[in-house]
Amino acid sequence: MDRDKKLRLAVDLVRAMMWSVPRGTIRPLSWWARARSALDAGAKRASSFGSMVSVMGRKLGVVVPTKKTAAELARIELAVGDDFDVWRRYCAQEGLHVIAIARVEAQERKDAGADMPVAQETGDTPETEEEET
């Protein structure tokens, strides 16, 4: 797996996990620090993609992923495939860079008015998805 793919998948993982953070769980000023902490913890403790997601979810206060998060996690897991350990080490070593790129992309989506859950220290929080009954 090349560096660009590792970075893209790591940024996508952070974005997807943040979509499922319940509103009010993370103070806006702590948003990106918590994302970094969750990525670091997941990358250092995980033995599988599922365990990485679970560690990150606990650090972020995610109880149940939204449908959008779940679909994105399934896509990322397939893309990572057998390269999980290499990718996990990349996430552990490059966490600050991953968060920096995720933050820049989130601001770009926000500035473009994209209809995506984006949280910034300006006070925005992720949108919660309504479950169908």
Residue 122 lies inside a defined structural domain of this protein: no
Residue 132 lies inside a defined structural domain of this protein: no
User: What pLDDT, on a 0 to 100 scale, did the predictor assign at position 28?
Assistant: 80
Residues in the chain predicted with pLDDT less than 70, given as ranges, are: 114-133
Cβ pair 98, 91 in contact under 8 A: yes
Q: pTM (2 decimals)?
A: 0.83
Domain count along the chain:
1
Range of the domain at 107: 3-111
- Alpha-helical regions (H) of the chain: 3-19, 31-45, 49-60, 67-80, 84-93, 95-111
Give the Å distances, CA to CA, from 53 to 14, 77, 109, 132.
Answer: 10, 10, 24, 24
User: What pLDDT, on a 0 to 100 scale, did the predictor assign at position 127?
Assistant: 42
Residue 63 lies inside a defined structural domain of this protein: yes
Residue 119 lies inside a defined structural domain of this protein: no
Residue 74 lies inside a defined structural domain of this protein: yes
